[in-house]
């Protein structure tokens, strides 16, 4: 913990002279202001745009979707679409009118053009900040506290993913082109024809699965699975909580209470949207030698059970498993110092490892059959339906892999040197030559909306998503290959990864767990990509 605190002080400029400290403070304030402006420009652009359509224009959309976007203008029924993600994804996926899709797509990828100037300023300030702190470039500064050891490791990792996914991605695109029967398949056609191809191949409908995923059954099944995987128990208590649908559980290991878990899973009026894990208190021992147990919340917005059972989509099940992975990482730490207990002190490019690891089991037949039972008949989800879930998950996964690598390489290489103006687009075009099989139109200014790196915390760190996925996939298959339940690797994971929290680098903990470096091939296998 001392090492981490010293590193944080140094990365914040503690060793600088007063003049440089003053300049660093000015830079940080300006970066904060620019990031906020970047975000606000996007919000304004999203709010200002309206695509108004008549009945013919919404051909292809479901009746429910049409109702969602129905408006009355001058006494006439119309349909209004904005640049928010739900309506945009809905229309690009189901809207039959190709000209409208092209127009909508162009509006989406050209929004907030004023952000180009903000990007230039941000790039200059980030590079200056890195130099003041003694780093050659911002990328080196960004990975200093992360698991990746150097720039070369990140680039080689991403390029290996791209090279490995490329052959299968070419097949996926050719299949889509053949299905669409279009000589000039464009970016604004992809979602529309991909959805049709997926339906043609798998006839997958999430609604058919919901009766098998009643919320209480899923939660109880998840607890049973974790007991079979790690030997931990969840015992419900009668603590009075903020809502009658919220529940709390004592978490036991070897019969001893180690933590408390709170679940607040159903949507209700006034509740914040989305799903997340909140680390309320970390396990620690105070200055008087008193032990404090960890506690955590898992919050979601699953369908409410006011008038009917709460029936989840499989995506909801995956979300629950994901957030439980975070919660276990936080709650089962044995570390005595707050600053490195649970998820505290864990490197940014490794913090998603435990959540991704656990969510992978939501696709595993042995696990699903524990709880995936029809809430009325008790019928267990069939092998065919489970196979369909996996097939849909991996549909066009190689193309998806290339897309994420494109984002990650652009982000990282952008911060390895000072890029401004046309150099930014030139860099993106150069990366797309190696990663994009279907070139977007020249008017596409993706970078002006890349909020993760220009208004979020992922600058020179977008690769972290895939980096953590490799750790999780590698560990997941080591458990699966041992039989999943009551395995040595499962017990080791409980002690080494979950028990140690952020007290050591994940690089060291992972090597202690697996005895070898993580393998990219495991992530490819998980995504159904031929290795």
Q: Beta strand 294-302 with 291-292: parallel, antiparallel or unpaired?
A: unpaired
Separation between Cα atoms, residue 311 and residue 214, nearest integer Å: 4
Cα–Cα distance measured from residue 292 to residue 284, given in angstroms and rounded to the nearest whole number: 5
Q: For the segment 178-211, what is each residue's pLDDT rounded down to a tens digit?
A: 999 998 999 999 999 999 999 999 988 888 899 9
Confidence band, pLDDT 50/70/90 cuts, at residue 332: very high
Output the average pLDDT for the chain: 95
Domain with CATH 1.10.1370.40 in the chain: 209-393
Residues pairing with 292 in the sheet: 284
The answer as to CATH 1.10.1370.40 being correct for domain 209-393 is yes
Whole-angstrom Cα distance, residue 317 to residue 336? Answer: 33
Is the distance from CB of 449 to CB of 42 less than 8 angstroms? yes
Tell whether the model's pLDDT for residue 85 goes beyond 90.
no
More confident residue, 500 or 268: 500
Count the neighbouring beta carbons within 10 Å of the beta carbon of residue 449: 21
Its pTM stands at: 0.89
DSSP 261: E
Q: What are 499-519's pLDDT values in tens digits?
A: 999 999 999 999 999 999 889
- 34 vs 176: CA distance, rounded Å: 40
Q: What is the mean pLDDT of residues 292-302?
A: 95
Give the mean pLDDT of 333-352: 94
pLDDT of residue 271: 84
Residue 291 is a catalytic residue: no
Cβ pair 385, 210 in contact under 8 A: no
Judged by average pLDDT, the poorest of 126-130, 264-268, 319-323 is 264-268
pLDDT at 106 over 90: yes
Catalytic residue among 214, 323, 347, 359: 323
Average pLDDT on 276-290 reads: 95
Cα distances from 230 to residues 256, 277, 482, 499, in angstroms, run 14, 20, 14, 12
Burial pattern 212-230, b for ≥16 Cβ within 10 A else e, equals bbbbebbbebbbebbebbb
């Amino acid at each position: 913990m001392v090492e981490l605190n010293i590193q944080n002080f140094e990365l914040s400029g503690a060793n600088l002279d007063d003049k440089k400290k003053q300049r660093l403070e000015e830079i940080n304030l300006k970066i904060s202001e620019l990031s906020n402006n970047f975000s606000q420009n996007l919000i304004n652009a999203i709010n200002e745009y309206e695509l108004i359509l008549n009945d013919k224009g919404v051909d292809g959309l479901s009746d429910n979707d049409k109702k969602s976007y129905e408006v009355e203008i001058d006494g006439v029924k119309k349909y209004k679409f904005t640049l928010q993600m739900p309506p945009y994804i809905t229309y690009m996926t189901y809207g039959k009118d190709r000209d409208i899709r092209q127009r909508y797509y162009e509006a989406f990828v050209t929004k907030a053009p004023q952000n180009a100037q903000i990007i230039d300023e941000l790039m200059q300030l980030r590079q200056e900040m890195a130099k003041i702190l003694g780093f050659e470039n911002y990328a080196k500064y960004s990975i200093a506290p992360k698991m990746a050891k150097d720039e070369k490791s990140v680039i080689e990792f991403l390029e290996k993913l791209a090279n490995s996914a490329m052959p299968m991605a070419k097949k996926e695109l050719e299949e889509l082109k053949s299905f669409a029967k279009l000589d000039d398949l464009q970016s604004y056609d992809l979602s529309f024809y991909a959805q049709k191809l997926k339906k043609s191949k798998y006839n997958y409908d999430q609604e058919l699965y919901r009766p098998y995923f009643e919320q209480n059954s899923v939660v109880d099944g998840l607890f049973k699975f974790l007991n079979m995987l790690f030997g931990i128990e969840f015992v419900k208590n009668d603590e009075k909580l903020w809502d009658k649908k919220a529940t709390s559980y004592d978490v036991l290991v070897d019969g001893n209470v180690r933590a408390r878990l709170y679940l607040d899973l159903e949507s209700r009026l006034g509740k914040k949207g989305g799903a997340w894990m909140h680390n309320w208190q970390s396990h620690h021992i105070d200055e008087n030698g008193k032990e404090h147990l960890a506690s955590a919340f898992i919050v979601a917005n699953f369908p409410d059970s006011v008038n009917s059972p709460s029936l989840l989509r499989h995506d909801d099940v995956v979300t629950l498993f994901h957030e439980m992975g975070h919660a276990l990482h936080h709650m089962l730490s044995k570390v005595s110092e707050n600053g490195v207990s649970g998820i505290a002190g864990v490197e940014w490019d490794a913090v998603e490892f435990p959540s991704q690891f656990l969510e992978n089991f939501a696709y595993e037949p042995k696990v699903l059959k524990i709880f995936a039972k029809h809430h009325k008949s008790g019928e267990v989800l069939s092998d065919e339906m489970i196979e369909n879930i996996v097939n849909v998950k991996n549909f066009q996964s190689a193309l998806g892999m290339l897309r994420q690598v494109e984002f990650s390489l652009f982000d990282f290489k952008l911060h390895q040197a000072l890029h401004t103006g046309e150099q930014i687009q030139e860099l993106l075009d150069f990366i797309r030559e190696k990663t994009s099989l279907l070139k977007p139109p020249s008017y596409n200014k993706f970078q002006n909306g890349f909020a993760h790196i220009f208004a979020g915390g992922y600058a020179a760190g977008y690769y972290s998503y895939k980096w953590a996925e490799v750790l999780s996939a590698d560990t997941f298959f080591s458990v699966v290959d041992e039989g999943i339940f009551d395995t040595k690797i499962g017990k080791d994971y409980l002690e080494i990864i979950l028990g140690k929290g952020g007290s050591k680098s994940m690089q060291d903990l992972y090597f202690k767990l697996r005895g070898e470096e993580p393998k990219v091939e495991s992530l490819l296998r998980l995504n159904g990509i031929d290795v």
